[in-house]
Amino acid sequence: MALVLQAKDTLEWAYRGEGFVNLVLAYCGKSPDFVGKVLRMRKVPKYGSEYENGHSALTMHECLLWGELEGLVSAPTGEIAEQLYLQQVMCPLLGSKHVDAGIRVLVTREFLEAVENKVILLLLIMANAARVNPLRDSVLLVANHSIFPHGIKPKCGFLPISKFIAPENVVKRSITRFKMHQSLKLNQGKISQISKYDPLDVFSGSKDRVQNAMKSLFLTPQNNFQVFLNGSLIFGGLGGGADTTCMVDQEFDYSLKHVIRAEDGMRTKYFLELVTESVFKSGLLSLLLEVQKLDIFDIEGAIHSYYDIVSQPCMICRQKGVKERYASLHSIPRDQSLKLVRVYLISATAKDLSMMISFKSRENGDLESSCSTVYLESTDQIFYYKASFIDMDMKPLKKMERHYKLDQQIVSCYVQMKRAAKEVEDRESIKETPQIN
Ligand SMILES: [Zn+2]
């Protein structure tokens, strides 16, 4: 697209929301190049990053890791590297028709500054208005899934079985990471209640369990479940925060009145049926699970190869005094270490992405061949739906140490909380036992 967005063009772009890294603007003008699209643009990183100057997207060790991918090492900016990563790694794994890799559109600095001013004005009431990174020269144009989209962040859908999991962390084999992380978040005051959602349900391949997952997500959405109607968020949270204020049930039910043909009080139930049906029919989650499962070593294995790649003494073996247990990992050839870590990072992307499903009710005679259809039996309606993956960020190599620490923190917090709960339980049962004099 031989086009550069100028300051005057900001009038045609409306603030749609933001994530941790990106700000999203939706197109509201008439140009056929942009109708139905959104712009994703980088915010100024809060804690600084090597991307800041826009010169080098990858670190030296990341170049070793991703060197085989065409153009990735020479990518001048983080966005370009991300786009190449999507095209060359995630698209082949998840299917390019399920991944929207987007188009890079050139922008002037004035455009970025105008966007920032607009966003600051809009968000004056909010505490921390997003800052657009003015040093960029391009932004990413992707399809706007806002006809009636619905976002699910499914998280990791399997229990790790790696033999490198330390004996004290054996609980990882039976309790999901999601559930344990909820305990930690509750303990830290980041959430006010534990989510009822169980990722194993949504990946189970059983329709009843998928339906159960959808009900749980609706009851405790946190940042795992969002619903948009005509481009506006009507359920779930937009930002990075885990706790969200939800529309009350009645209000949500009412807002669906032009979508689900049913009496008051029944639409939410049928809507969740529609989502279940589409998740199930799309088959996307079984595809995703395969990619997640590429990580067979778990972070407790991959971290050792990480230290080999960055040519540093292994902190885990040193601190824990477990050199022998991991000697086999440390003696594999370098290309194997690189592969192991690469696969770990790809799987980490797959465990953290979101799935977007857009719906549009099929009116008589209205045919859209690019979309699949789903039948909602309860209301006798046919919907077009399009399911795809979004938010597939490339995970920085240097974050692996942080992944390891968080993993250990999650497990130890869970184990401690369980132990404390058990002690209380034991004390109660002693009290209840009748005393014989
Ligand atoms: Zn080690």
- CA–CA separation, 13 and 30 (whole Å): 11
Cα 414 to ligand 1 centre (Å): 24
Q: Which of 49, 136, 45, 69 is nearest to 345 (CA)?
A: 69
Query: What is the predicted pLDDT for the residue at 242?
Result: 45
Tell me: the pLDDT tens digits for 247-270? Answer: 567 888 998 998 899 999 999 999
Q: Is 150 helix (H, G, I), strand (E, B) or coil?
A: strand
At 15, which amino acid appears? Y
Question: Got the DSSP string for 279-312?
Answer: HHHH-HHHHHHHHHTT--SHHHHHHHHHHHHTT-
Tokens found for residue 57: 């997207």
- CA–CA separation, 342 and 302 (whole Å): 9
Angle between helices 298-309 and 334-352 (to 10 degrees): 130
Neighbours of ion ligand 1 (CB under 5 A): 304, 314, 316-317, 326
Answer with the residue of higher pLDDT: 394 or 371.
394
Mean pLDDT across the chain: 85
Lowest mean pLDDT among 36-45, 100-109, 335-344, 395-404: 36-45
Cα 120 to ligand 1 centre (Å): 47
Query: What is the predicted pLDDT for the residue at 146?
Result: 46
Query: What is the predicted pLDDT for the residue at 283?
Result: 92
| CB distance 152 to 217 below 8 Å | yes
Question: Got the DSSP string for 148-207?
Answer: SEEEE-----S----TTS-GGGGGGGTS-HHHHHHHHHHHTTS-SS-----HHHHTSS-H
Cα 49 to ligand 1 centre (Å): 27
Query: What is the predicted pLDDT for the residue at 395?
Result: 94
- Pairing mode, strands 138-143 and 149-152: unpaired
Cα 416 to ligand 1 centre (Å): 26
Residues 318-339 as b or e (16 or more Cβ within 10 Å = b): eeeeeeeebeebeeeeeeebbe
pLDDT above 90 for 301: yes
Cα 177 to ligand 1 centre (Å): 22
- CA–CA separation, 264 and 254 (whole Å): 7
- CA–CA separation, 67 and 84 (whole Å): 12
Query: What is the predicted pLDDT for the residue at 238?
Result: 54
Cα 323 to ligand 1 centre (Å): 6
Cα 316 to ligand 1 centre (Å): 5
**297 Cβ neighbours under 8 A, 6+ residues apart:** 162, 164, 329, 340, 344
Percent of the chain topping pLDDT 90: 47
Cα 345 to ligand 1 centre (Å): 18
Answer with the residue of higher pLDDT: 371 or 352.
352
What distances in angstroms separate CA 336 from CA 332, 404, 426, one per listed residue? 6, 20, 49
DSSP code, position 89: I
- Give residue for tokens 């920032």: 116
Q: Which of 353, 388, 390 is nearest to 95 (CA)?
A: 388
Q: Is 342 helix (H, G, I), strand (E, B) or coil?
A: helix
Backbone angles phi, psi at 123, to 5 degrees: -100, 15
Cα 333 to ligand 1 centre (Å): 15
Tell me: the pLDDT tens digits for 12-23? Answer: 888 877 766 778
- CA–CA separation, 279 and 385 (whole Å): 10
Backbone angles phi, psi at 228, to 5 degrees: -115, 145
Domains of the chain, CATH where assigned? 8-144 (3.30.200.110), 145-437 (no CATH)
pLDDT above 80 for 280: yes
- CA–CA separation, 319 and 405 (whole Å): 13
Cα 417 to ligand 1 centre (Å): 28
**357 Cβ neighbours under 8 A, 6+ residues apart:** 149, 150, 151, 152, 275, 278, 279, 282, 385, 386, 387
Residue 1 CB: number of other CB atoms within 10 A? 10
| CB distance 282 to 387 below 8 Å | yes
Cα 166 to ligand 1 centre (Å): 12
pLDDT above 70 for 104: yes
Query: What is the predicted pLDDT for the residue at 15?
Result: 81
**306 Cβ neighbours under 8 A, 6+ residues apart:** 341, 397, 400, 401
Cα 319 to ligand 1 centre (Å): 9
- CA–CA separation, 227 and 271 (whole Å): 11
Q: Which of 84-93, 144-153, 353-362 has the highest mean pLDDT?
A: 84-93
pLDDT band at residue 174 using 50, 70 and 90 as cut-offs: very high
Q: For the chain, give the number of residues.
A: 437
Cα 88 to ligand 1 centre (Å): 30
Backbone angles phi, psi at 66, to 5 degrees: -110, 10
| CB distance 218 to 272 below 8 Å | yes
Tell me: the pLDDT tens digits for 345-366? Answer: 999 999 999 898 888 888 765 6
At 199, which amino acid appears? P
Q: Which H/E stretch holds residue 254?
A: helix 249-255
Tokens found for residue 250: 């009645």
- Pairing mode, strands 4-5 and 103-107: parallel
- CA–CA separation, 184 and 193 (whole Å): 11
- CA–CA separation, 268 and 238 (whole Å): 20
